[in-house]
Amino acid sequence: MPSSQPIGVFDSGYGGLTVLKSIVEKLPGYDFIYLGDNARAPYGNRSFETVYQYTREAVEWFFSKGCPLVILACNTSSAKALRTIQQQDLAASATPNRVLGVIRPTTEIAGLLSKTGQVGILATQGTILSQSYVLEIKKFFPEIKVFQQACPLWVPLIENNEHQGAGADYFVKKYVDALLAQSAQIDTVLLGCTHYPLLLDKLRAYFPAHIQLVAQGEIVAESLLKYLKNHPEIDGRCSKHSDLSFYTTDDNIDFDRHSSYFYKSAIRSERVFL
């Protein structure tokens, strides 16, 4: 086998770095490559066809880099492209490589977290309209009631590093209030977009204290650990030298500077064209 067979971690931009951070903490021995499609982000308001096409191009790029496994650490890609890639593209090419998303691991445990049986989802417009969270939670916990709220302005605020400023409060409160107005019984809120952990301080301030806010990083990392244990045929193909490399489809200097908000340790990325 080639000496480097890293696990690929994909996001439309920076948000997936919040998931990568938890994955690397949980699986420190593995090799990883991260790709942010910054040149074409945000994905949140784009059509199904566009998100599918962009995500498929990214997956092909990861496979060309030797990745046996790719994690779509982007809810929008997981919601709009994952199923077609798994059921159509991977099946047609008969590749042994696999692609996983972040919605299933999160929905698998959503019902265990809520005592009232009412769960809120905050996500991009695309993820909300896809109904992926509602449908997946129903599969695992048919009795759970799900309330959704799209937050289309949060990703642009975060990508422009305006999320900690006073200007962000208006839009944070607006979407939080819109979710809370749907039911007074919600006790668990899933952050269904990898960017949103950066808003945690502000979200905590606008949600009542009894409501738990759930970010995905650790959930996805735990689920990946289990997946690799249950799939030795994939685990055996993943190289393990603790290597970590970063790629972006836009300016790499800009990516390195900006990524510190999301990853906390210095990043040196390379630019690629998909």
Choose which of 9, 24, 41, 215 interacts with ligand DGL (CB under 6 A).
41
Rule CB under 6 A: which of 104-163 touch ligand DGL? 124, 127, 155
Q: What is the sign, positive or negative, of the torsion defined by CA atoms of 175, 177, 180, 182?
A: negative
Tell me the site size for ligand DGL, rule CB under 6 A. 17
Please tell me whether the peptide bond between 42 and the residue prior to it is cis, using omega within 30 degrees of 0: yes
Residue 22 interacts with ligand DGL (CB under 6 A)? no
Residue 12 interacts with ligand DGL (CB under 6 A)? yes
Residue 74 interacts with ligand DGL (CB under 6 A)? yes
Rule CB under 6 A: which of 210-269 touch ligand DGL? none
Residue number with CB closer to ligand DGL (11 or 31) = 11
Among the listed residues 67, 151, 193, 238, the single catalytic one is: 193
Task: Find the shortest distance in angstroms from Cβ 115 to ligand DGL.
Answer: 27
Task: Find the shortest distance in angstroms from Cβ 233 to ligand DGL.
Answer: 29
Helix/strand/coil for 23: helix
CA nearest neighbour of 224 among 35, 19, 13, 52: 19
193 among known catalytic residues: yes
DSSP 208-266: -TTSEEE-SHHHHHHHHHHHHHH-HHHHTTS--S--EEEEESS-HHHHHHHTHHHHSS-
State the first-to-last Cα distance of the chain, in angstroms, to the nearest integer. 25
Among the listed residues 67, 74, 151, 238, the single catalytic one is: 74
Which residue's CB atom is positioned nearest to ligand DGL?
Answer: 44
Helix/strand/coil for 131: coil
Tokens at residue 112, please? 């265990």
Helix/strand/coil for 33: strand
Tokens at residue 178, please? 């819109």
Choose which of 6, 8, 10, 15 interacts with ligand DGL (CB under 6 A).
15
Residue number with CB closer to ligand DGL (11 or 250) = 11
Tokens at residue 162, please? 């305006």
238 among known catalytic residues: no
Contact residues: ligand DGL, CB under 6 A: 11-13, 15, 41-44, 74-76, 124, 127, 155, 193-195
| Residues labelled as active-site residues | 74, 193
